[in-house]
Amino acid sequence: MSPLFPALTGTPAERPALRFGDRGLTYGELGTAAGALAERIRGTGRIAVWATPALETAVGVVAALLAGVAAVPLNPKSGEKELGHILSDSAPSLVLAAPGDELPSPLRDLDRIDVDVLATTGTVPEDQTQDDDPALVVYTSGTTGPPKGAVIPRRAVATTLDALADAWQWTEDDVLVHALPLFHVHGLILGILGPLRRGGSVRHLGRFDTEGVARELSSGATMLFGVPTMYHRIAEALPTDPTLAKALAGARLLVSGSAALPVHDHERIATATGRRVIERYGMTETLMNTSVRADGEPRAGTVGVPLPGVELRLVEDDGTPLTAHDGESVGEIQVRGPNLFTEYLNRPDATAAAFTPDGWFRTGDMAVRDADGYVRIVGRKATDLIKSGGYKIGAGEIENALLEHPAVREAAVTGEPDPDLGERVVAWIVPADPQSPPAAEELASHVAARLAPHKRPRTVHYLTSLPRNDMGKIMKRALRAHD
């Protein structure tokens, strides 16, 4: 196919491409470093990338894409169980990491290449890939069981980024700032590969804080990407931070995604800055589906209209498509288009279940459509999926982890509303010994160490039994009555 990053050869070499803190690379330097690494890894199987928020991750992923090798970005805070699962499922041939990064035990058995961002000998290879070749395998939680690896083809990356360029008038003149993790679609594909495909640049903050956002937007950055938790923290800071308000007011585009941005935060930001945040809606499996357009009406509470090339419909429970765009009829969002993933790795059952016979992907998100086509997400089919800080977390995987703790006899996990995180992971447990229940911090650390810190329960409730129906199934709605 045509190259994913034409700017690596077609842009003046001295133009800035990437910046992480005080380290950065121009297009010329990126082409050389990624080209050198691509030469070393060409022809290997899938490769894992230790996806710290650092220059090496960006160079490693670009190199994999140049070499036509699928990259599997790993959350560097993954616990042993999660990491073990991802490694055995994706079977990478080697791992890319930054020099000096210490890798946990399951990764030490793999061949390792340290990413040299200052390599001076490489050249950008000619693209010999096909549209359907896998670009990335990104792990995403389901309601039960361990995370599934969504295989994302090169075509999906190219088309989604070009559709966003159209919707957002995103050009090589844009300078993006963000602090998103680099092991998910939002931070990696949109936040790193997006600017590189355009020939523009990105400045990554390493970790999110409002000072960093204000600093970068006041010194040349034009766009901000974030999850709602980040915009919530911005909204909280604005009344006492005129520098931040001025910086946001000067931005070309403020984009939120990965979860719903509450209307209250939309309004607070608009009041303090005169700028409206626009929302886009996507999923690991589909990349981006809809967005409020830069030239459209930025209506709070909606995720805008389908992106070019994306077919979107709402269907009733029995699969009948809804024809009314009345802002009231609720249906499941189904999508079709070149933006879709190919399959869940090693999971033909899950892949088959995710699609209708005629190729529509079932998102599980419930929505209405306004008369002018704007989509409003109103909920989710599965109550066992939790969105916390923009991370998708399956209740089942946390329940399993909790049940592996010797002091837990029964466990249920729910997502409860949280002003900062959107939803908070809440555990409801029946201790093995009611006289000495495990401490909440102990259970949080247990889950953080096995899965990932963002999956840890933030609140733990102790019960003598879990409410169950006649079939023995836990009635999660009844749990809240115990709160």
Write out the residues near ligand MCA by the rule CB under 6 A. Answer: 77, 180-181, 184-187, 208, 227, 229-230, 257-258, 282-284, 389-391, 444-445, 448, 453-454, 456
Helices and strands (H, E) in the chain, number of each type: 15, 25
Ordered DSSP codes for 277-317: -EEEEEETTTEEEEE--TTS---TT---EEPTT-EEEEE-T
Residue 377 interacting with ligand AMP (CB under 6 A):
yes
Query: Residue 223 binds which entry of ligand MCA, ligand AMP, none, with Cβ cut-offs from 5 to 8 Å by kind?
Result: none
Question: Cα(first)–Cα(last) distance of the chain, in Å?
Answer: 55
Polymer length in residues for the chain: 483
Report d(CA 404, CA 450) in Å as an integer. 10
Rank residues 27 and 344 by Cβ distance to ligand MCA and give the closer one: 344
User: Residue 141 CB, nearest distance to ligand AMP (Å)?
Assistant: 7
Residue whose CB is nearest to ligand AMP in the complex, by number: 392
CA–CA distance, 425 with 174 (Å, rounded to integer): 36
Range 248-287, binding ligand AMP (CB under 6 A): 257-260, 279, 281-284
3-state secondary structure of 129: coil
Residue type for 273, please? T
Return the one option of ligand MCA, ligand AMP, none that residue 389 interacts with (CB less than 5 to 8 A, by type).
Answer: ligand MCA
Nearer to ligand AMP, 53 or 282 (CB): 282
Would you say 302 or 400 has its CB closer to ligand AMP? 302
Q: Does 303 bind ligand AMP (CB under 6 A)?
A: yes
Other residues' Cβ atoms within 10 Å of the Cβ of residue 7: 21
Residue 365 in contact with ligand AMP, rule: CB under 6 A: yes
Q: From the list ligand MCA, ligand AMP, none, pick the one residue 363 interacts with, judged by a Cβ distance below 5 to 8 Å according to partner type.
A: ligand AMP
CB atoms within 10 A of CB 365: 22
- The token duo for 201 is 């640049």
Are the CB atoms for 255 and 230 separated by under 8 Å? no
User: In this chain, which residue has its C-beta nearest to ligand MCA?
Assistant: 389
CA distance 357 to 361: 10
Smallest gap from Cβ 271 to ligand AMP, in A, equals 21
Q: How far is the CB of 85 from ligand AMP (least distance, A)?
A: 17
Query: How many binding residues for ligand AMP (CB under 6 A)?
Result: 18
Nearest CA to 264 out of 231, 292, 290, 297 is that of 231
Structure tokens at 176: 């993006």
Closer CB to ligand MCA, 399 or 423, in the complex: 423
DSSP structural state of residue 247: H
222 contacts ligand AMP (rule: CB under 6 A): no
- Cα(314)–Cα(369) distance, integer angstroms: 8
Closer to ligand MCA by CB, 27 or 168: give it: 168
Binding mask 82-101 for ligand AMP (x = CB under 6 A): --------------------
Q: Is the separation of the CB atoms in 66 and 156 below 8 Å?
A: no
Q: How far is the CB of 452 from ligand MCA (least distance, A)?
A: 8
SS3 460: strand
Q: Which residues bind ligand AMP (CB under 6 A)?
A: 140, 185, 257-260, 279, 281-284, 303, 363, 365, 377, 380, 387, 392
